[in-house]
Every structure is written in C-alpha cells, then in structure tokens.
Amino acid sequence: MKILKHIALGLFLAASTVGVSSVSMAVTLDEDGRAVFSPAEAIDNVVVKIKEAEAAIVAKEDGKAIAKIIQKAKSLGKEINANDKVDVLRQRATSNLTKAKALAKKGKLDESKELLEEAIQKFGELKAHI
C-alpha cells in the first residue's frame, strides 16, 4: 500500500507538470480567437512582412503576389494597439502600404519599393512612442 501511494503521488506530479507547462506555453487569444501580441511584437511582425514584400520585388515576382504580401502586412498592422498617438502614426505608415499595394498591382515595382522603405522607417519610429 505504501508503494502504491508513492506511485500515485509520482503520477499525479508528472500529470500536473505536463498540464501546467502546456497552458503556460499557449498563445494568448482574444475573444475573436486571434492571437494577441504586444505592440512591439506587432510592429516587428509588420516590418518582417514588409521586408518580405521588398524581397519579392527584388526577385521580380508578380505584382499581384506582392500586393497580397503587402495586404498581409496591412492586416498585421491592425494588431498594433498602444495609445492614440501610436494609432495616428500607424495609420500614416499604413497609408504608405496602401499606395505601395496599388502601385504593385499596376506593375510599378520600383515606386512601390520606395514606399515600402518609407513604411519600414515609419513603423520603426512607432516603437519610440509606445
């Protein structure tokens, strides 16, 4: 009986450790089921996606494919939630993405790349206002 108690205690500790560690590694979700990021993480995600679009321009990919990448960057930009000042600056940076997307659809990739570079700079400046 004494050995059975030790085995049961060991199994309980192992099960609780597994259960707690899986909960602590889970991604935080909001009520709509979307992942929630800190403002700095969201800015980094947008910049990574913009750089991906720039790389696609350098690789001479199709304008529509580049426009889809830029659209994903715009969608990620909506996750940046810090304060009103950051929101205004985010909207200004996102306007560059909108213009770059339209130019990419038209096949004007060089002009689109310039706007993407400006957007990277503007999104980078957001971190100072968080």
Confidence of residue 12 (pLDDT cuts 50, 70, 90): confident
Q: Which CATH entry fits the domain spanning 37-129: 1.20.120, 1.20.1070, 2.10.25, 1.10.357?
A: 1.20.120
Among candidates 110, 81, 112, which has minimal Cα distance to 97? 112
- Above 70 in pLDDT, residue 15? yes
Token duo for residue 51: 């750089």
Among candidates 85, 60, 76, 59, which has minimal Cα distance to 119? 76
pTM value? 0.73
- Give pLDDT tens digits for 99-115: 999 999 999 999 999 99
Question: Domain map of the chain by residue range?
Answer: 37-129
Token duo for residue 120: 């990277």
Which of 23-32, 33-42, 79-88: highest mean pLDDT? 79-88
C-alpha span between 117 and 12 (Å, rounded): 55
| Exposure on the CB side of residue 25, measured as CA atoms within 13 A | 6
- Give pLDDT tens digits for 31-53: 656 667 788 899 999 999 999 99
pLDDT, averaged across the chain: 86
The sign of the dihedral angle between the CA atoms of 10, 16, 18, 24 is negative
